[in-house]
């Protein structure tokens, strides 16, 4: 017997072991997210994927799909909270989209457009964060890190290297490099590693490749993030 749940009143099937976001993606329903990637262990850190499950707020990327669940995703209050979270991500870092090499390919920027974020709303923090350009192939711009832990999980789970970790709490939270000097050049990371390509913002960049794809011809210049995400993550789950 097929197990089903409803999302915004639409009945969808799911398989045992799937989370709500996996079931939604398979059914062609987009739930906004930044820290989720189907290739890695769910983390639930960004909270953009928060949905109401039988009236209770839950992270769709970590909460298991269960028979008979009533899930609310596209609701005014949820989208308002998602917009506020996205605004806070912008002001807690130094995100200046017009001057960022990742513009047009940035998931944070694309989510902001999807949620109709028109301004930062909150005062900018302007934290003092440095660049690490020590590696021959890879640059880290800590100004753009949103602590999604995707690079941490990719390095550990796929690359088998444990190059990155997150340290500190609150405004003092920061991405660290696991080397004696704290510099990326003193790790065994390479440009072919998954961790070098998984960042949803412009925090981790491959050197010597900037603007090879011109602005105006980039991923989110032509498609909104919901369609891009559904296509790519559905393909991964096959």
- Residue 147 placed within a domain: yes
Read off φ and ψ for residue 14, nearest 5 degrees: -150, 165
Q: How many residues does the chain have?
A: 238
- Residue 88 placed within a domain: no
Residues 48 and 144 grouped into a single domain = no
- Residue 140 placed within a domain: yes
Identify the helix (H) or strand (E) that includes residue 84.
helix 76-92
- Residue 61 placed within a domain: yes
- Residue 87 placed within a domain: no
- Cβ atoms of 220 and 104 within 8 Å: the answer is yes
Which pLDDT belongs to residue 208?
94
Residues 57 and 140 grouped into a single domain = no
Residues 180 and 165 grouped into a single domain = yes
Residues 103 and 58 grouped into a single domain = no
Residues 34 and 124 grouped into a single domain = no
Q: Distance of alpha carbon 9 from its chain centroid, rounded?
A: 27
What is the pTM for the complete model shown?
0.94
The number of beta carbons lying within 10 Å of the beta carbon of residue 69 is 20
CB neighbours of 201 closer than 8 A, spacing ≥ 6? 95, 102, 106, 107, 108, 144, 145, 146
CATH of the domain at 28: 3.10.20.740
Number of domains in the chain: 2
- Tens of pLDDT along the chain (238 residues)? 789 999 999 999 999 999 999 999 999 999 999 999 999 999 999 999 999 999 999 999 999 999 999 999 999 999 999 999 999 999 999 999 998 999 999 999 999 999 999 999 999 999 889 999 999 999 999 999 999 999 999 999 999 999 999 999 887 889 999 999 999 999 999 999 999 999 999 999 999 999 999 999 999 999 999 999 998 876 666 5
The residue segments making up the domain with residue 136 are 96-224
Residues 215 and 233 grouped into a single domain = no
Residues 29 and 120 grouped into a single domain = no
Rg (CA), the chain: 18
Residues 158 and 198 grouped into a single domain = yes
Residues 34 and 116 grouped into a single domain = no
- Residue 91 placed within a domain: no
Residues 101 and 183 grouped into a single domain = yes
- Cβ atoms of 201 and 144 within 8 Å: the answer is yes
Integer CA distances (angstroms), 19 to 14, 194, 204, in order: 9, 23, 28
Read off φ and ψ for residue 139, nearest 5 degrees: -120, 140
CATH of the domain at 117: 3.30.70.20
Token pair recorded at residue 5? 């749940």
- Residue 107 placed within a domain: yes
Residues 218 and 233 grouped into a single domain = no
Residues 120 and 217 grouped into a single domain = yes
């Amino acid at each position: 017997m097929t197990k089903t749940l409803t999302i915004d009143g639409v009945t969808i099937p799911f398989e045992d072991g799937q989370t709500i976001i996996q079931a939604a993606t398979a059914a062609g329903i987009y739930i906004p997210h930044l820290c989720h990637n189907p290739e890695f262990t769910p983390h639930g850190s960004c909270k953009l994927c928060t949905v109401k499950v039988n009236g209770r707020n839950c992270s769709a990327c970590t909460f298991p799909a269960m028979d008979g669940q009533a899930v609310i995703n596209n609701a005014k209050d949820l989208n308002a909270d998602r917009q506020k979270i996205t605004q806070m991500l912008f002001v807690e870092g130094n995100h200046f989209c017009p001057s960022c090499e990742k513009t047009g390919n940035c998931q944070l920027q694309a989510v902001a457009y999807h949620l109709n974020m028109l301004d930062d709303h909150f005062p900018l923090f302007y934290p003092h964060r440095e660049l690490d350009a020590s590696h021959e192939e890879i640059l880290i711009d800590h100004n753009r890190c949103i602590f999604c832990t995707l690079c941490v999980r990719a390095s550990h789970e796929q690359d088998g290297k444990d190059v990155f970790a997150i340290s500190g709490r609150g405004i003092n939270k920061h991405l660290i490099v696991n080397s004696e000097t704290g510099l990326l050049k003193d790790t065994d990371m390479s440009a072919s590693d998954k961790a070098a390509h998984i960042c949803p913002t412009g925090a981790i960049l491959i050197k010597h490749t900037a603007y090879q794809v011109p602005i105006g011809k980039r991923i989110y210049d032509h498609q909104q993030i919901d369609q891009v995400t559904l296509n790519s993550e559905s393909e991964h789950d096959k």
